[in-house]
Amino acid sequence: MGLVRRAAVAGSFYPSQSDELGRTIGNLLMDCRQEVRLPLPPKALIVPHAGYVYSGAVAASAYALLRPLHAEISRVVLLGPVHRVPISGLALPGGEAFATPLGTVPLDLGICKQLEALPQVSVNPAAHALEHSLEVQLPFLQRVLDHFTLVPLAVGDTSAEQVAEVLEQAWGGSETLIVISSDLSHYLPYPLARRVDQDTALTILELSQQFGHQQACGATPIHGLLRAAQQHQLEPHLLDIRNSGDTSGDKERVVGYASFAFCESPK
Protein backbone atom coordinates (compact mmCIF):
# COMPACT_ATOMS: atom_id res chain seq x y z
CA MET A 1 0.00 0.00 0.00
CA GLY A 2 1.17 3.52 -0.79
CA LEU A 3 1.15 6.58 1.42
CA VAL A 4 -0.97 6.16 4.56
CA ARG A 5 -2.24 9.06 6.66
CA ARG A 6 -1.37 8.02 10.22
CA ALA A 7 -3.56 8.70 13.23
CA ALA A 8 -2.76 12.11 14.74
CA VAL A 9 -5.08 12.30 17.77
CA ALA A 10 -5.09 8.71 19.04
CA GLY A 11 -4.29 8.89 22.73
CA SER A 12 -5.83 12.34 23.14
CA PHE A 13 -9.27 12.40 21.49
CA TYR A 14 -9.73 8.63 21.82
CA PRO A 15 -7.75 5.63 23.16
CA SER A 16 -4.58 4.71 21.32
CA GLN A 17 -4.70 0.98 22.08
CA SER A 18 -6.92 -1.05 19.77
CA ASP A 19 -8.47 -3.22 22.48
CA GLU A 20 -9.34 -0.25 24.70
CA LEU A 21 -10.62 1.71 21.72
CA GLY A 22 -12.81 -1.18 20.63
CA ARG A 23 -14.26 -1.53 24.13
CA THR A 24 -14.87 2.21 24.41
CA ILE A 25 -16.81 2.36 21.14
CA GLY A 26 -18.67 -0.85 21.96
CA ASN A 27 -19.81 0.59 25.27
CA LEU A 28 -20.86 3.89 23.68
CA LEU A 29 -22.91 2.06 21.06
CA MET A 30 -24.49 -0.23 23.65
CA ASP A 31 -25.40 2.65 25.97
CA CYS A 32 -26.55 5.14 23.34
CA ARG A 33 -29.97 6.72 23.30
CA GLN A 34 -31.95 5.14 20.49
CA GLU A 35 -35.29 6.87 20.81
CA VAL A 36 -35.72 7.87 17.15
CA ARG A 37 -37.14 5.37 14.69
CA LEU A 38 -36.27 6.26 11.12
CA PRO A 39 -38.70 5.50 8.29
CA LEU A 40 -35.87 4.39 5.99
CA PRO A 41 -32.11 3.80 6.33
CA PRO A 42 -30.02 6.97 6.59
CA LYS A 43 -28.29 8.38 3.53
CA ALA A 44 -26.37 11.02 5.50
CA LEU A 45 -25.37 11.77 9.08
CA ILE A 46 -24.20 14.84 10.97
CA VAL A 47 -22.04 13.85 13.94
CA PRO A 48 -19.83 15.73 16.44
CA HIS A 49 -16.05 15.46 16.54
CA ALA A 50 -14.80 16.23 20.04
CA GLY A 51 -12.98 13.80 22.28
CA TYR A 52 -15.02 10.68 22.92
CA VAL A 53 -15.43 11.51 26.61
CA TYR A 54 -17.26 14.67 25.56
CA SER A 55 -19.16 13.86 22.35
CA GLY A 56 -18.79 10.10 21.89
CA ALA A 57 -22.23 9.31 23.27
CA VAL A 58 -23.90 11.77 20.89
CA ALA A 59 -21.95 10.40 17.92
CA ALA A 60 -22.89 6.85 18.93
CA SER A 61 -26.58 7.66 18.56
CA ALA A 62 -25.95 8.16 14.84
CA TYR A 63 -23.49 5.34 14.26
CA ALA A 64 -25.74 2.80 16.00
CA LEU A 65 -28.17 3.27 13.11
CA LEU A 66 -25.61 1.76 10.74
CA ARG A 67 -25.39 -1.64 12.41
CA PRO A 68 -28.19 -3.17 10.28
CA LEU A 69 -26.40 -1.75 7.21
CA HIS A 70 -22.97 -3.16 8.12
CA ALA A 71 -22.70 -5.23 4.94
CA GLU A 72 -24.50 -2.81 2.60
CA ILE A 73 -22.51 0.41 3.04
CA SER A 74 -19.21 0.09 1.20
CA ARG A 75 -18.24 3.75 0.69
CA VAL A 76 -18.21 6.67 3.13
CA VAL A 77 -17.90 10.26 1.92
CA LEU A 78 -16.62 12.15 4.97
CA LEU A 79 -16.48 15.95 5.21
CA GLY A 80 -15.25 18.02 8.14
CA PRO A 81 -14.00 21.56 8.74
CA VAL A 82 -10.30 22.38 8.96
CA HIS A 83 -9.04 23.49 12.37
CA ARG A 84 -5.27 23.83 11.86
CA VAL A 85 -4.45 24.58 8.22
CA PRO A 86 -6.56 27.24 6.49
CA ILE A 87 -7.47 26.31 2.93
CA SER A 88 -9.65 27.48 0.08
CA GLY A 89 -12.18 25.01 -1.24
CA LEU A 90 -12.11 21.35 -0.27
CA ALA A 91 -8.99 19.21 0.09
CA LEU A 92 -8.33 15.54 -0.49
CA PRO A 93 -5.36 14.04 1.37
CA GLY A 94 -3.58 12.24 -1.44
CA GLY A 95 -2.16 8.84 -0.59
CA GLU A 96 -4.08 5.61 -0.45
CA ALA A 97 -5.40 5.05 3.08
CA PHE A 98 -6.11 6.38 6.57
CA ALA A 99 -4.93 4.45 9.63
CA THR A 100 -6.33 4.24 13.16
CA PRO A 101 -5.54 1.84 16.01
CA LEU A 102 -8.32 -0.39 14.62
CA GLY A 103 -6.63 -0.80 11.25
CA THR A 104 -6.39 0.83 7.84
CA VAL A 105 -9.19 2.25 5.70
CA PRO A 106 -8.46 2.43 1.95
CA LEU A 107 -9.41 5.53 0.01
CA ASP A 108 -11.79 5.26 -2.91
CA LEU A 109 -9.22 6.33 -5.45
CA GLY A 110 -11.68 6.33 -8.33
CA ILE A 111 -14.06 8.81 -6.70
CA CYS A 112 -11.15 10.88 -5.39
CA LYS A 113 -9.80 11.17 -8.93
CA GLN A 114 -13.19 12.30 -10.23
CA LEU A 115 -13.45 14.95 -7.52
CA GLU A 116 -9.96 16.28 -8.28
CA ALA A 117 -11.32 17.44 -11.64
CA LEU A 118 -13.60 19.95 -9.86
CA PRO A 119 -12.05 23.43 -9.54
CA GLN A 120 -12.91 23.70 -5.82
CA VAL A 121 -11.13 20.43 -4.94
CA SER A 122 -7.36 20.17 -4.41
CA VAL A 123 -4.95 17.63 -2.96
CA ASN A 124 -3.44 18.94 0.26
CA PRO A 125 -1.86 16.41 2.63
CA ALA A 126 -1.01 19.17 5.14
CA ALA A 127 -4.70 19.98 5.61
CA HIS A 128 -5.28 16.39 6.75
CA ALA A 129 -2.09 15.61 8.64
CA LEU A 130 -3.22 16.90 12.06
CA GLU A 131 -6.95 17.36 11.44
CA HIS A 132 -9.16 15.67 14.03
CA SER A 133 -12.62 16.36 12.60
CA LEU A 134 -12.33 13.51 10.11
CA GLU A 135 -10.10 11.16 12.07
CA VAL A 136 -12.33 10.75 15.12
CA GLN A 137 -15.17 9.40 12.94
CA LEU A 138 -13.14 6.52 11.54
CA PRO A 139 -13.02 4.18 14.57
CA PHE A 140 -16.81 4.34 14.87
CA LEU A 141 -17.16 3.54 11.17
CA GLN A 142 -14.63 0.72 11.44
CA ARG A 143 -16.57 -0.76 14.33
CA VAL A 144 -20.05 -0.68 12.74
CA LEU A 145 -19.28 -1.42 9.05
CA ASP A 146 -17.75 -4.56 7.59
CA HIS A 147 -15.60 -3.16 4.77
CA PHE A 148 -15.66 0.29 3.25
CA THR A 149 -13.61 2.74 1.26
CA LEU A 150 -13.25 6.38 2.25
CA VAL A 151 -13.54 9.71 0.46
CA PRO A 152 -12.18 12.21 3.04
CA LEU A 153 -12.57 15.92 2.35
CA ALA A 154 -11.31 18.73 4.57
CA VAL A 155 -13.51 21.78 4.04
CA GLY A 156 -12.16 25.32 4.17
CA ASP A 157 -13.27 28.63 2.68
CA THR A 158 -15.88 27.63 0.11
CA SER A 159 -19.59 27.88 -0.58
CA ALA A 160 -22.56 25.64 0.09
CA GLU A 161 -23.03 25.34 -3.67
CA GLN A 162 -19.49 24.05 -4.16
CA VAL A 163 -19.86 21.54 -1.33
CA ALA A 164 -23.18 20.36 -2.75
CA GLU A 165 -21.55 19.88 -6.15
CA VAL A 166 -18.91 17.65 -4.58
CA LEU A 167 -21.56 15.64 -2.75
CA GLU A 168 -23.52 15.20 -5.98
CA GLN A 169 -20.46 13.79 -7.73
CA ALA A 170 -19.97 11.21 -4.96
CA TRP A 171 -23.65 10.61 -4.11
CA GLY A 172 -23.91 7.04 -5.34
CA GLY A 173 -26.69 4.71 -4.19
CA SER A 174 -27.43 2.81 -0.99
CA GLU A 175 -23.80 1.66 -0.86
CA THR A 176 -22.65 5.25 -0.20
CA LEU A 177 -23.04 7.03 3.15
CA ILE A 178 -22.32 10.73 3.62
CA VAL A 179 -21.00 11.87 7.00
CA ILE A 180 -20.65 15.53 7.97
CA SER A 181 -18.48 16.18 11.03
CA SER A 182 -19.41 19.23 13.12
CA ASP A 183 -19.77 20.44 16.68
CA LEU A 184 -22.22 23.21 17.58
CA SER A 185 -21.66 26.32 19.74
CA HIS A 186 -18.35 26.82 21.55
CA TYR A 187 -17.54 28.04 25.07
CA LEU A 188 -20.89 29.54 26.04
CA PRO A 189 -22.39 29.24 29.52
CA TYR A 190 -24.57 26.12 29.82
CA PRO A 191 -28.04 27.77 29.71
CA LEU A 192 -27.17 29.98 26.75
CA ALA A 193 -25.53 27.11 24.88
CA ARG A 194 -28.67 25.02 25.22
CA ARG A 195 -30.82 27.78 23.72
CA VAL A 196 -28.40 28.50 20.89
CA ASP A 197 -27.95 24.84 20.01
CA GLN A 198 -31.68 24.13 20.08
CA ASP A 199 -32.21 27.02 17.67
CA THR A 200 -29.48 25.67 15.38
CA ALA A 201 -31.00 22.19 15.47
CA LEU A 202 -34.41 23.56 14.52
CA THR A 203 -32.82 25.46 11.64
CA ILE A 204 -31.17 22.28 10.35
CA LEU A 205 -34.47 20.39 10.65
CA GLU A 206 -36.02 23.06 8.46
CA LEU A 207 -33.22 22.53 5.89
CA SER A 208 -32.35 26.20 6.33
CA GLN A 209 -28.84 27.61 6.08
CA GLN A 210 -29.55 30.54 8.41
CA PHE A 211 -26.67 29.85 10.81
CA GLY A 212 -22.94 30.37 10.72
CA HIS A 213 -19.69 29.11 12.17
CA GLN A 214 -20.45 30.55 15.60
CA GLN A 215 -23.36 28.12 15.78
CA ALA A 216 -21.62 25.15 14.12
CA CYS A 217 -17.93 24.87 13.30
CA GLY A 218 -18.84 22.68 10.32
CA ALA A 219 -21.46 25.11 9.05
CA THR A 220 -20.12 25.11 5.49
CA PRO A 221 -20.24 21.33 4.91
CA ILE A 222 -23.61 21.21 6.71
CA HIS A 223 -24.93 23.92 4.39
CA GLY A 224 -23.78 21.88 1.41
CA LEU A 225 -25.55 18.80 2.76
CA LEU A 226 -28.75 20.79 3.35
CA ARG A 227 -28.73 21.93 -0.29
CA ALA A 228 -28.22 18.34 -1.42
CA ALA A 229 -30.94 17.14 0.95
CA GLN A 230 -33.41 19.55 -0.66
CA GLN A 231 -32.39 18.36 -4.11
CA HIS A 232 -32.80 14.68 -3.18
CA GLN A 233 -35.84 15.22 -0.94
CA LEU A 234 -34.18 13.88 2.20
CA GLU A 235 -35.84 14.37 5.56
CA PRO A 236 -33.69 15.30 8.60
CA HIS A 237 -34.17 13.69 12.02
CA LEU A 238 -32.60 14.91 15.26
CA LEU A 239 -31.12 11.93 17.11
CA ASP A 240 -29.46 13.51 20.15
CA ILE A 241 -28.44 16.96 21.35
CA ARG A 242 -26.29 17.66 24.39
CA ASN A 243 -23.19 19.60 25.36
CA SER A 244 -20.00 19.06 27.30
CA GLY A 245 -21.75 20.29 30.44
CA ASP A 246 -23.99 17.22 30.21
CA THR A 247 -21.14 14.81 29.56
CA SER A 248 -18.18 16.22 31.49
CA GLY A 249 -19.85 18.22 34.25
CA ASP A 250 -18.21 21.63 33.70
CA LYS A 251 -21.01 24.05 32.82
CA GLU A 252 -19.11 27.35 32.75
CA ARG A 253 -17.91 27.15 29.13
CA VAL A 254 -19.43 24.31 27.16
CA VAL A 255 -19.30 22.97 23.59
CA GLY A 256 -22.50 21.80 21.93
CA TYR A 257 -23.01 18.50 20.13
CA ALA A 258 -25.86 17.07 18.06
CA SER A 259 -26.37 14.15 15.73
CA PHE A 260 -28.80 14.04 12.81
CA ALA A 261 -29.81 11.46 10.24
CA PHE A 262 -31.11 12.28 6.75
CA CYS A 263 -33.37 9.75 5.04
CA GLU A 264 -35.36 9.55 1.86
CA SER A 265 -39.00 10.41 2.32
CA PRO A 266 -41.25 7.31 2.59
CA LYS A 267 -43.99 9.13 0.68
Cα–Cα distance between 137 and 153 in angstroms, integer? 13
Cα–Cα distance between 64 and 102 in angstroms, integer? 18
Which residues lie below 8 Å from residue 200, measured CB to CB, with a gap of 6+?
184, 185, 211, 215, 216, 256, 258
Per-residue pLDDT at 228:
98
Per-residue pLDDT at 36:
78
Q: Find the distance separating the first CA and the last CA of the chain, reported in whole Å.
A: 45
Give the model confidence (pLDDT) of 59-68 as tens digits: 999 999 999 9
Per-residue pLDDT at 265:
84
Per-residue pLDDT at 2:
65
In the chain the domains, ranked by start, together with CATH numbers, are 4-264 (3.40.830.10)
Give the model confidence (pLDDT) of 10-47 as tens digits: 999 999 999 999 999 999 999 987 777 898 999 999 99
Q: Is the pLDDT of residue 202 over 80?
A: yes
CA-based nearest residue to 151, from 45, 228, 76: 76
Q: What is the mean pLDDT of the chain?
A: 96
Give the model confidence (pLDDT) of 70-110 as tens digits: 999 999 999 999 999 999 999 999 999 999 999 999 999 99
Least confident of 108-112, 162-166, 246-250: 246-250
CA-based nearest residue to 238, from 218, 258, 219, 221: 258
Which residues lie below 8 Å from residue 249, measured CB to CB, with a gap of 6+?
none
pTM of the model: 0.97
Least confident of 27-41, 142-156, 161-175, 247-261: 27-41
Helix (H, G, I), strand (E, B) or coil at 252: coil
Per-residue pLDDT at 43:
98
